[in-house]
Each structure stands twice: as C-alpha cells, then as structure tokens.
A and B are shown apart, each in its own frame.
Chain A
Amino acid sequence: MTNNGNILHDSLANTFWSSVTTRWRPIARFLICVSTLLLVTVAAQYSHAESLKVAVASNFSGTMKRLVKQFEQQTSHNVIVSYGSSGKLFAQIIHGAPFDLFLSADQELPSKLVALGHADSSQQFTYALGRLVLWSADSNAIDEKASRLKSGDYTHVALANPRFAPYGRAAIETLNALGLVVSSESKLVQGENVAQAYQFIHSGNAEMGFIALAQLYGEGLDRLDKRRQFHGSKWIVPDALYSPIRQDLVVLNRGQAKQIAQQFFDFMRGDVATSIISKSGYSVSTNHD
C-alpha cells in the first residue's frame, strides 16, 4: 500500500517536474517554498480563536499601542489595530470593512455611524479629550506666551486640514480666539492630519505648528530627542480657546456579538486605561456619557 502510494507520488512528481523545463526548475521550487510559507502564516493567523479588529484615528496611535499591550497582558486575547484618518476609516466601515470597534478622533463620525445603523448608541462614549499644542523643533521659538505666533514673526505655521481634521479645526478656532488674522493664506500649511503637520514641523520646514499634545509623548520621539538633543519648545493651548476635541469610540455591529469587544469596551472605561490615556497627553472626561 505504502509502496503503491510512493510509486504514484513519484510518477506524479515526475510528470510535474518534467513539464517544468530545467531552466525554470529553481524558480518553481522557490515559488513552492514561498507559497507553503504563506499558507502556514495565514493558517497561524486564523488559529487565534478570538481576535479583535479595531480601527483607530492616527493621533491616538502611540497611546493605543500602550493600551493594547496592557489589554493583551490582562486577557491574553489578540488585538489587531488599523490606523488611519477618521474620515477614511469611516468610509471603509460604511463600505463593509471588518472592524469590531472604531476609535475616532471626533464625536461626529461615531454618531453618524450610529445614525446609519452601523453601531448602537448605548455603546458609544468619549474615551479621550484631545489637547492642542503649539510646537516648534527650535527650542527658542516658543515662549510661555507664544509671542512669536502672536506677532506673526514666522513664514509657515503648520496645522492639520481644518476641513476634516478635529485638531485642525481647533487650531483655526484658537487663531480666531486670539484675534490673530493670518496675513496670507500661504503662511498656513496644512497636513492631511496631525501626523503630517508634525512632520512639517519636525523637518524644520514650518517654524511652528499646531499638533496633538499626545504626539509629543511618543516612544520614537523620546529616542530621537536623546540622540539629537532636540527637544524643541511648546505652548499648551488653554482649553478655553477652542471647543473640546471629544474623541468617541463605538462598538460596531460586527463586534456586538463578540465577548472580547465588550471586554475591550469595559477595559477602556476602567481605571487602568483611563490612567494610561491621561498620562499620554489627553484629558479624560469624568462623566461617561
């Protein structure tokens, strides 16, 4: 029996290899190896029985990594996170992207998802209040009164696109509240999100700019700062100058039936998560509404 099997196997193998000309044989072997490896990796992914897929606004990425680490230690579940701008993630979700939870950079989009029937309003709450900061890579550019911003002594000030990025909107509100009329539109350079505004400032192309305070708490940044002794200067914008940046999360329909989604929802409202979030440059609202 085994013999027969071997003979059959051999003849099959021979037919296969003879159909592959000598020249292509190494390439065929390589392709077989790679596809086997791919299959094994994919199979390994699926063997995790319960994994949670979360869509997260980019400004929260550093904090999310810390939260996921903590959550995975506590529960030994697997959390798969996708980062992107809230608007893009929203569009993906309404077109059927397989996410269980959505952590937005604003309150509007989660509410819209509830209104569109992609989520339930009982599972929406404000997990963080964003804080706006004026930051410069130059350690002398910004003093505690932000006088250089007020005097207009700069060529470029960077911000996230106010049309759709909450931190960009807050930046414009701040400029208006300070009564600063930017002399020319070409002085305001817009990144598509705060991450890009950060990049404009970090590379020195914009002397200063408005970003999320949380971005200055990143691990990567700490490393860079130590190496280059590159701290820059900042002015934390007073809360009164802009309307609160409420960042809401919502459990999506796909996550409703999953126990792990509920667990993560509860974890985010708990003390451990709240303390991590407030140490990462956000405020946390006291009333969970």
Chain B
Amino acid sequence: MINFSPEDISAIWLTLKLASTVTIILLLIGTPIAYWLARTNSKMKGPISAIVALPLVLPPTVIGFYLLIAMGPNGFVGQLTQSLGLGTLPFTFGGLVVASVFYSMPFVVQPIQNAIEGLGDRPLEVAASLGAGRLDQFFTVVLPLAKPGFITATILGFAHTVGEFGVILMIGGNIPGETRVVSVQIYDHVESLAYGQAHTLAGTMVVFSFVVLLCLYWFQSKRGGQWSMK
C-alpha cells in the first residue's frame, strides 16, 4: 500500500489548505473582475486583461524573483505590510496565498468571463426591464446561468494551485508545515536521491490531477463545453 511519511502527509495537508484558501479568495475577487471584463467597453479592458493573463506567459522564476523583491523589507509590498504591522510575507503561509492568488488568477477569471460573455446582453436587459437592480441581476440571472463557468473556474483554480512549484520554491523557504507543499517535497526527495519516496508522492499527484481533469471534461461534455482558454 501507499506509505506516506509524516512529512509527506503534512505537505499534502498544507497543499490542500493553500489551494482551498486561494480558490475561495480568487472566486471572491476574480468574479467582479470577470464580470467587469465581460460587460465593459472601457479602454482599460485591454490592459487589465493583459495583466490578468500575465502569469500564463511569464515563467515562475520571473514572478518569484519579483515577488521576493517586492514583498521583501525594501520592496513596496513589504513596506506596506510592515507599516500595517504584519511583518514581511516571504517564508510565510500568507505570502504563499498572495503569490498563488496572483499566479492562478487567469485560471479563475477567464472561465467566468467567458461564461458571462456567452450570456449576451438580452437576459440582463430583460431583468432590468422587470426592475431588477444590479446586484439582483447578478444573483438571480448571471450566477445561475453562468454556473458552469464558475464550476470550471473553481476546479481549475484549485488544481493549478496544487500544481504550483516554481514561485513557491523561490519565496517559500521550504519550512515544514508552513511553506513546504507537495511539489517542493517531491523536489527535495528527488534532489536527495530518495527516488522511492519521490515516486509515492509524484504518482499520487499524477492520479489526483488526472481525476480532477477527468471530472472537469466529463462535466463540460455534460454541459456542452463552456470553457476555452482565450
């Protein structure tokens, strides 16, 4: 049977905790951004879309390198968190959350945005003519109709955070129970030539990722394909 060491189990729990926290935060802040991007004609739509999509093209080394500097004691994020009495973010769980929110943002925003764009103007116009306010429109019309987009966003946001490695390696400091997630733990096993332990964890990751994606595609084919990466 699969034999995890206590360190492996701690890394798995930490990873699940990180992915859940990040997914919830992303749904809360990603939804307004996606809604705005889907409905706006503003000139800012291009630049904002580009910023959201940046983590898709930037290598994790670039993101990790700049986050380490920005969140450090001399960086602007670091100065802000210090003045708020929070200390600095690198080497903490909170730091990983902030980094992952940025890093997984496009995987949550884009499916929701596509789903809302797919609705068209008509349902919202009808709702408005029936006297529904903006918030009312969102909760009674957009949310139920764009539900598949939200579910896709949740699955992708969660899975992408579980699979994160480069950024965490660069800002985490490899602290057990705090920043040593599964991907980093696997890397440690491989580097110290403990290939057996590496296989156990890595194999689990492959199975987990396969099952998650299988659920996603099964769900999409049932719903008639709502999601595509722009």
Query: Hey, which bits of chain A sit against chain B, CB under 8 A?
Result: 85, 87-88, 90-91, 155-156, 158, 161, 163-164, 185-186, 188-192, 196, 199-200, 203-206
Contacts and interface: CB of A to CB of B under 8 A. Distances in A.
5 contacts: A87-B190, A88-B191, A188-B175, A189-B91, A203-B72
B59 to A, nearest CB: 16
Given A189-B174, A189-B175, A203-B69, A156 B191 contact: no
B67 to A, nearest CB: 10
A192 B90 contact: no
A150 B202 CA distance: 39
A114 to B, nearest CB: 16
A225 B178 CA distance: 33
Given A188-B175, A190-B174, A196-B170, A205 B90 contact: yes
Interface of B: 68-69, 71-75, 87-88, 90-91, 169-170, 173-178, 187-188, 190-193
Contact of B173 (A87, A88, A189): A189
A-B pairs with lowest CB-CB distance, top 9: A189-B173, A190-B174, A164-B192, A203-B72, A87-B191, A204-B73, A205-B90, A164-B191, A163-B192
B68 A203 contact: yes
A52 B191 CA distance: 26
Which residue of A155, A158, A203, A204 has the most chain B CB atoms within 10 A of its CB atom? A203
B91 A192 contact: no
A164 B71 CA distance: 28
Contacts of A196: 170
A191 B90 CA distance: 12
Contacts of B191: 85, 87-88, 161, 163-164, 192
B193 A87 contact: yes
Contact of A186 (B178, B187, B192): B178
A161 B68 contact: no
B190 A91 contact: yes
Nearest to A138: B73
B187 A192 contact: yes
A188 B192 CA distance: 19
A191 B178 CA distance: 15
Nearest to B184: A192
Contacts of B193: 87, 90-91, 164
Contacts of B75: 203
Contacts of A87: 190-193
A205 B91 contact: yes
Given A189-B91, A203-B75, A205-B91, 19 more contacts: A87-B191, A87-B193, A88-B191, A161-B191, A163-B192, A164-B188, A164-B192, A164-B193, A185-B175, A185-B176, A185-B177, A186-B175, A190-B175, A191-B174, A200-B173, A203-B69, A203-B74, A205-B88, A206-B173
A192 B196 CA distance: 20
A185 B91 CA distance: 11
B65 to A, nearest CB: 8
A229 to B, nearest CB: 15
B68 A190 contact: no
Nearest to A192: B169
B40 to A, nearest CB: 33
A199 B177 CA distance: 22
A85 B187 CA distance: 12
A232 to B, nearest CB: 14
B72 A205 contact: yes
Contact of A163 (B68, B74, B188): B188
B182 to A, nearest CB: 16
A185 B69 CA distance: 23
A155 B175 contact: no
Contacts of A205: 68, 71-73, 88, 90-91
B72 A158 contact: no
Contact of A190 (B73, B88, B90, B173): B173
A186 B91 contact: yes
A204 B74 contact: yes
